[in-house]
Amino acid sequence: MISRITLIFISILVLQNVGQAQASFTLEEAIDYALKNSSSLKMKQLDIREAAISVDEIKANGMPTVNGTLGYQYFPAVPQQPLEDFISPIVIGVLNNSVTQANPIPIGDPTFFEVSFAQKHNIAASIDARALIFDGSYLAAVKAARLYKDFIGSGVEISEQEIRNNVTKAYMNVLILDKNKETIDKNISSLEKSLFETKEFYKEGFIEELDVDRLELSLANLETEKMKLLQVENLSKNLLKFQMEYPMEQQIALAEDLETVIEKSKIDEVNLEDEFDITKRPEYIQINKGLELQDIQLESVKKSNWPSVSAFANAGETLARNELFNNDLPGWLPSVVLGLNVNVPIYDGGLRKSQIEKSKLATEKALIERDNFERAIELQVANARLQYKNAKATLESTEKSLALAEKIYEKTQIKFREGVGSSIELTQAEAALFNEQSLNINALYELLNAKIDLDIALGKL
């Protein structure tokens, strides 16, 4: 019987193997994974949320506000004020004009006494409401905040395009290396077969040992190339994981081969005469959003000298007593005030004029940048079309050369087996075949990259 400890050990091994299973991705799945896990896109999304909050914040500045206050003051020593005795001179004056007219009473020097207008206990409660009725610059600020949110959103599209581009090229690079490895394995298998046959001929004395040595050297070189290719493949997969923001410590596999991706990319259906619409480029959209922001900025500055109107209302009650809880004393005293404020800018020392000129200059700069971008994109599209055309022609040429090299290699093998060809000829034909295979794979890779660059230039990626 299997012990419980053995069963537990087997279960742990199974779970470890499951946990270490490779995740497999098609090209679209790899792009989707990168888009979902991109830290730069997450930052962009946070920027969009922040811009939305800013819109609400600016709108709140024009909304009515209500504040309530409650205050209490206690004076252990009630503040006193000196007050001149103005009553006694008046009384004496009246007497001197009537009763004591014959013998007037002298008024004398002014005298003072202390008086207080405060109570020991003071309580005040009020509600204050304020509302902005009209402000031209406020309306422009709300419009600018909303447009800025769209401006940030267009930046997301640019980042997504860059991610698609980087992941696609990294994915293609791995596929090309797989194709190279497949070709080398095929060549190794073919060379091993030739080496076996050559060794048999050597045993029979039909060929020299030098012919065997040449084939063994070629096979060793192929094995070395395969080893180097495996190392490069690991580096390429790490680059793909980096572009996808996939965990480096986990294994990754590609679910599609090169032929499938080529078929999906529709390389043969590219029409180099298609009209180009620059408005499909996300960078162009963002530039235009920036120009709209500049226009709103200019509008805001122009409206800064418009009158602004606001209203306010305040209702409150106060209680002032020397004895706080003595209800026989006067109670709460209400007060209500309504008001309207009109602010009319009169002179700002030329600040508004300078701001308008500065805003106009910024708009002119943005227009120049857009013109430069348009010219740069025209050049990019023209170069991308030319590069694609050249890459396709190069691939067609290498395919013809590869077919010819394969034909020569096959005939050279036949001649060598029949004893009418030398091992030198076979080695030369073999080297030519390997070189054409490499050129063909590189040409295919360049064509795929040219297709990606063309899609980016045309705003299709």
CA distance 118 to 71: 15
Contacts of 304 (CB under 8 A, 6+ apart): 136, 137, 345, 352, 355
Tokens 């690991």 found at? 234
CA distance 453 to 447: 10
Looking only at the bridges linking them, the beta strands covering 121-134 and 81-84 are unpaired
Q: Shortest CA distance to 448 belongs to which of 174, 262, 180?
A: 262
At 187 the pLDDT is 87
Q: For residue 329, tell me if it sits in a domain.
A: no
At 399 the pLDDT is 92
Collapsing DSSP to helix, strand or coil, 72 comes out as strand
CA distance 452 to 168: 8
Q: For residue 119, tell me if it sits in a domain.
A: no
The answer to whether residues 301 and 355 touch, using CB atoms and an 8 Å cutoff, is yes
Report the half-sphere exposure of 7 (CA within 13 A, side-chain side). Answer: 4
| Residue type present at position 443 | A
Torsion of CA 422, 427, 428, 433, to 10 degrees: 130
At 16 the pLDDT is 47
Looking at residue 82, the DSSP 8-state letter turns out to be E
pTM: 0.72
Q: Which helix (H) or strand (E) covers residue 132, if one does?
A: strand 121-134
Tokens 């700002």 found at? 348
CA distance 377 to 135: 42
Q: For residue 161, tell me if it sits in a domain.
A: yes
| Length of the chain counted residue by residue | 461
CA distance 437 to 225: 14
Cα–Cα distances in angstroms (integers) from residue 267 to residues 11, 130, 170, 179, 391, in the given order: 49, 66, 18, 18, 11
pLDDT block averages, 10 residues each, the chain of length 461: 46 45 84 92 87 83 89 83 71 70 69 72 91 82 83 85 91 90 88 84 79 86 89 91 93 89 79 82 88 86 85 90 77 89 86 87 91 92 93 93 91 81 81 89 90 86 72
At 348 the pLDDT is 80
Beta carbons within 10 angstroms of residue 22's beta carbon = 10
Check the CA dihedral 151-156-159-164 and report its sign. negative
The answer to whether residues 236 and 177 touch, using CB atoms and an 8 Å cutoff, is yes
Any idea what the Cα angle at residue 117 is, between residues 112 and 119, rounded to 5°?
Answer: 130
Q: For residue 326, tell me if it sits in a domain.
A: no
Cα–Cα distances in angstroms (integers) from residue 214 to residues 246, 406, 429, in the given order: 45, 20, 13
Ramachandran angles phi, psi of 273, nearest 5°: -95, 0
The domain containing residue 204 runs over which residues?
21-62+135-306+349-457
The answer to whether residues 262 and 441 touch, using CB atoms and an 8 Å cutoff, is no
Ramachandran angles phi, psi of 307, nearest 5°: -65, 145
Q: Which helix (H) or strand (E) covers residue 74, if one does?
A: strand 65-74
Q: For residue 421, tell me if it sits in a domain.
A: yes
CA distance 334 to 453: 76
**What is the maximum span of the chain, computed from C-alpha positions, in angstroms?**
172
Q: E strands, 265-382, where?
A: 308-321, 333-343
Nearest-10 crossing angle of helices 209-244, 27-37: 40
Would you state the structure tokens that stand for residue 163, as one six-digit string?
A: 């991610």
At 333 the pLDDT is 85
CA distance 225 to 39: 37
| Residue type present at position 248 | M
Query: DSSP of 33-45, one letter per residue?
Result: HHHHH-HHHHHHH
The answer to whether residues 196 and 241 touch, using CB atoms and an 8 Å cutoff, is no
Q: For residue 428, tell me if it sits in a domain.
A: yes
Give 47: exposed, middle or buried? Use CB within 10 Å, 0-12, 13-18, 19+. Answer: middle
Residue 340's DSSP bridge partners are 311
Residue 312's DSSP bridge partners are 130, 339
Contacts of 370 (CB under 8 A, 6+ apart): 284, 287, 288, 291
Q: What total number of domains does the chain contain?
A: 1
Q: What is the CATH number of the domain that holds 390?
A: 1.20.1600.10
At 99 the pLDDT is 67
Q: For residue 171, tell me if it sits in a domain.
A: yes
Q: For residue 111, tell me if it sits in a domain.
A: no
At 292 the pLDDT is 87
